[in-house]
Amino acid sequence: MISPRAVIWKTGCDIMDDLFYFIISKYNYWGAIILLFIGLYGMIVRNNLMKKIIGMVIFQTAILLFFVSIGVKRGATVPIIKFSPDKQPLLDPAAYANPLPHVLILTAIVVGVAVLGVALALLQKIQRVHGTIEEDEILEDMRK
């Protein structure tokens, strides 16, 4: 008989299986992280202002994907409470999904589109004034 204090060691194969399951089961978070780094790379490394704006949009999309992933509740239903004839709720309140994260994401999408429009308008003005959208050339032109 095995004592309750016995240590059960996992083999290397079991650990790899657990790690593989963890990575696969959280694919939406990994996708958000990858998009986040792609957008951050585009904003920091690129000198072209249009590519910086594209990086900003990718970064914003990654954050939105992350927050939508957090707001998901498996097995939940829409928050419309149905009552029985004796005025008791038919479902436990824990069975309902919280609509607030999704509403906030819709607001963030609208704000992101507005910010993108302003950024593109400013980029157009910068191109008219300096004749380029390359950051190095603009800075050199401003020093003259």
pLDDT digits (tens, 9 = 90+) for 12-30: 667 777 778 877 888 889 9
**107 domain residue, yes or no:** yes
62 neighbors 105 (Cβ within 8 angstroms) = no
**99 domain residue, yes or no:** yes
Residue-wise pLDDT tens digits, 54-106: 999 999 999 999 998 888 878 887 777 777 788 777 767 777 888 888 889 99
**65 domain residue, yes or no:** yes
Q: What is the pLDDT of residue 60?
A: 96
CA atoms within 13 A on the CB side of 105: 17
CATH number reported for the structural domain that contains residue 89 in this entry = 1.10.287.3510
**21 domain residue, yes or no:** yes
Give the domain range for residue 43. 12-143
Distance in angstroms (rounded) separating the CA atoms of residues 58 and 35: 6
**34 domain residue, yes or no:** yes
**77 domain residue, yes or no:** yes
**7 domain residue, yes or no:** no
Average pLDDT, the chain: 86
- The domain total for the chain is 1
